[in-house]
Structure 1
């Protein structure tokens, strides 16, 4: 988050979304591994991953849509 300090406007938005997209991609990979773990020592972890994964994927798609929207609006304002 320190990389967001001092940024404003479209620069802040673009940087923030890039960070969110990266974080969501990493989290999805991690949660998929937990979700697909056959011999999980804790079944509740696998269940939590199963339930949470669709929410994360939805959030990622929302961030990607917003990023696309920002790209279109920033190119249109030049």
Structure 2
């Protein structure tokens, strides 16, 4: 018990250090409520937007009526946030580099969606959207509350309500039967 408390204390004291990539990548920052480093925030947002756009383009083709409607909004909204983030980084107001490709974890999920159809596609897409939006809300809340770049912090705060709405919508995916869709 004492060792656990000492380890926890060390983690809390190391909060600023944990705000680097390892903390964000491992989920430690989220558990501790620590704001991500600016570079990590930009990376996570860029990858999240790319995944939302690409997976939702698949849902526009393969999903049921409810998923297609949701996917159209995801493509539109995440294209907008992706453009805004690129403008902030490109303006020099944010010192970070946005990735231009998905990481392996998100690419694997996208590949799984490409190969899935029917109920399997819906189950995976719905689950991925719920998880992605929970993560995004946490990420944006933590940066809006404690980020170190004022421009990016302001943008995170302004973007957060839309992400919370996306999360609410994602929680409804698969709950209501879609009109005109047969269950396969």
Give the TM-score taking structure 2 as reference length: 0.35
Which residue of 2 is the match for residue 73 of structure 1?
A: none
Cα distance in 1 for partners of 2:148, 2:134 equals: 25
Which residue of 2 is the match for residue 63 of structure 1?
A: 170
Runs of 4+ in 1 over 3 A off after TM superposition: none
Which residue of 2 is the match for residue 54 of structure 1?
A: 161
Larger Rg: 2
For residues 8-60 of structure 1, what are the alpha-carbon distances to aligned partners after superposition, in whole Å with 9 as ceiling and x for unaligned? 112211210111111111111111111111xx432111111111111011011
**May I ask how many residue pairs the two structures share in their alignment?**
70
Over aligned residues, Cα RMSD in angstroms?
Answer: 1.8
Is there any run of 5+ residues in structure 1 with no aligned partner, and where? 71-76
Which residue of 1 is the match for residue 142 of structure 2?
A: 33
Matching residue within 150, 155, 160 for 1:43: 150
Is there any run of 5+ residues in structure 2 with no aligned partner, and where? 1-109, 178-182
